[in-house]
Structure 1
Amino acid sequence: MPRRRPGALRALPRDAPVWGRFPPVRIHGLSVDTTLAILRLEQLSEDYFVHPGSTDRALRRYRAFLAPPGRRPLYPQDSVCSCRGCSFDDVRHARDVLAEVLRQLPHRSRAELTRRVVALDAVYLGRTLPDPFAEHRQWRSDLWWRRRLAGGRESG
C-alpha cells in the first residue's frame, strides 16, 4: 500500500471550512454539530436579519426576557430602530429570527434547536397575555408570538 507524504497528512482537506483565525463560538445549550449547521446557515443566508451570530443573540434575548422570577405578566417592548442590532430590543423579533433559522436548518439540527425553542415558547405563553386586537395592531398577526400584549416596560 503506498504511503502518504507527511506534508499531505498535515494539509487541510480541500473541502474543509475555513473559519478564519479563530474557531466559531459554540452556542450555549446546543451541540457542536448544530452550532456548525447554524453558523453555516447564517453565513449563507440572504435574509437581512439572519447574519453570523444572530441565532445566538436571539436565543440569549429570548432567555433573558423570560428570566425575571415571579408570576407577573411580561410585556414585550417595541424596538425603537429597525436596524440589525436594535431590532433585538423587541423579543418578538428575536423569535422571528429563530423561526426563520428553524425553517432553513437541516432536519437533525432543526430538531435539537426546536426542543430548546419549544421550552422557551411554553414559558412565553404562560408569562404574556393575549392581545384581542392584534390583527389590527401587528403587521404579522399570523404569528402566535406577535398576538400577545406589548408595550410599556419589559420587566412587568
Structure 2
Amino acid sequence: MPRNRPGDLRAGRPPRTPAEPPPRTPVDPPPVRRLHGLSWRTSLAIARVETASGDYDLFPGATDRALRRYRGFLRPPGRRPRYPREAGCACRSCAFDDVRHARDVLDSVLRRLPPAPRAELGLRVRALDAEYLARTLPDPFAVRRQWRADLWWRRRLADGNEGR
C-alpha cells in the first residue's frame, strides 16, 4: 500500500492518486507552441510579446500566422513577379490576405523582442525580405498610393492577382 503524503494527512483531505494531474490555476499561461524554424527560447519571447502587447494586430499566434503568410506568398517557384493584393477588410483574420500586413506584424514583433530572440527572428525575416525584393516590382507612385509609404515593403506594386 502506498504511503500517504504528510501534507495530505495534515490537511485532513483524501490523498491524491498519482495518475491525477495537479490542478491548474487560472493564472497559468497557455502552453507555448514552438514556431517552425525558431528555438524554444525565441518562441517563448514571441509569445510573451504577443500576450503583453495592447496592439490590435498582435494577438497570440499572430507572428506564426505572419511568417506562414510571408513564406506562402513567396512559395511558388520561378522568377515571375508577385503582386500583393489588398485585404478585403481590416479585421484580424482578413488583414493577413495582404502580405504587407503580415510584414507589418513581423516588424512590430521585431521591435519589441529582446536582443537575442530579435536576432534569431531577424535572420529568418531578412531571408524572406531578400526574396520579396527580388520577386516584387517597385511602385514609382507609392508615395501617393500608400498610407505607409515610409516602409520599403509598402513601396512595391500591388493590386494584382497573386502569382499572375
Q: Specify if TM > 0.5.
A: yes
The match for 2:66 is 58
- Residues of 2 paired with 1:133 and 1:18: CA distance? 50
Q: Which residue identity is paired with 2:99?
A: V
- Residues of 1 paired with 2:131 and 2:6: CA distance? 55
- Residues of 2 paired with 1:6 and 1:33: CA distance? 37
Q: Which residue identity is paired with 2:79?
A: R
Q: Which runs of 5+ in 2 are unaligned?
A: 8-21
Shift of 1:18: 2.2
The match for 2:37 is 29
Q: State how many pairs are aligned.
A: 142
Q: Deviations over 1:90-123 (max 9, x none)?
A: 0000000000000000000000000000000000
Matched, 1:118 2:136: no
Q: Secondary structure at the match of 2:128?
A: helix
1:94 to 87, 102, 107: 102
Over the residues paired in the alignment, what is the CA RMSD in angstroms? 1.7
- Residues of 1 paired with 2:105 and 2:122: CA distance? 13
The match for 1:40 is 48
Q: Secondary structure at the match of 1:39?
A: helix
Q: Deviations over 1:110-149 (max 9, x none)?
A: 0000000000000000000000000000000000000000
Shift of 1:6: 9.2
Compared CA separation, residues 145 and 18, structure 1 to 2 (3 A): same
- Residues of 2 paired with 1:19 and 1:63: CA distance? 28
The match for 1:134 is 142
The match for 1:19 is 29
TM-score, with structure 1 as normaliser: 0.87
Compared CA separation, residues 6 and 81, structure 1 to 2 (3 A): farther
Q: Which residue identity is paired with 1:111?
A: A
Q: Secondary structure at the match of 1:70?
A: coil
Shift of 1:152: 1.7
Shift of 1:19: 2.7
Percent of paired sites with the same residue: 66
Q: Which runs of 5+ in 1 are unaligned?
A: none
Q: Which residue identity is paired with 2:158?
A: A
The match for 1:70 is 78
Q: Secondary structure at the match of 1:99?
A: helix
